Amino acid sequence: MASEMSVRRRRKRMSEMNVVPYIDVMLVLLIIFMVTAPLMNLGVEVDLPQGQAGPLSDQGDPLMVTVTASGDLYLDLGDAPELVDEQTLIEKVSIIAEANPNVQVTVSGDREVAYQHIYGAMVLLQRAGVESVGLTGDPEAP
């Protein structure tokens, strides 16, 4: 019997990595990103006016100029909107308008902003060489 006790089987070392905890962490992170992604607002917060106009046909991503309630101008080229002054707006939009004369440009203005600020943004876009400008609004609630 003593000989049976002395002959013990040694466990073979496992040389594989245990990935189960890493999968758990990955799934938790995935759930966190899935919950927080829709909450991220990448645009400028403005309260758009409502109207009964239908949407325009999709011609790609338009340039968006946003006028806030305080009269600040933001230019959105597809990335995060950046605060610009009048001269910078003219310079950046004119470069894009020279490369693509049919570029679609829309102006979004807060419903509380004075019409003078929205009109001023449209004048700046005209100086930059943009031939047509659209206005953005929210559809009316039923």
**Nearest residue to 134 (alpha-carbon basis) of 63, 67, 46, 77:** 63
* Residues in a beta bridge with 50: 138
Report all structural domains of the chain as residue ranges with CATH numbers, in order of start: 50-139 (3.30.420.270)
What is the predicted pLDDT for the residue at 87? 92
**Nearest residue to 109 (alpha-carbon basis) of 96, 127, 123, 121:** 121
d(C-alpha 1, C-alpha 112), whole Å: 94
What is the predicted pLDDT for the residue at 104? 84
Give pLDDT tens digits along the chain (142 positions).
555 555 566 777 767 777 788 889 999 999 998 888 877 766 666 666 666 666 655 556 678 898 988 888 999 887 778 899 999 999 998 998 888 888 888 898 888 888 888 888 989 998 888 888 888 877 776 6
Contact status, residue 42 vs residue 80, Cβ threshold 8 Å = yes
What is the predicted pLDDT for the residue at 99? 86
What is the predicted pLDDT for the residue at 79? 75
The number of angstroms, rounded, from the C-alpha of 122 to the middle of its chain's C-alpha atoms is 23
Contact status, residue 115 vs residue 71, Cβ threshold 8 Å = no
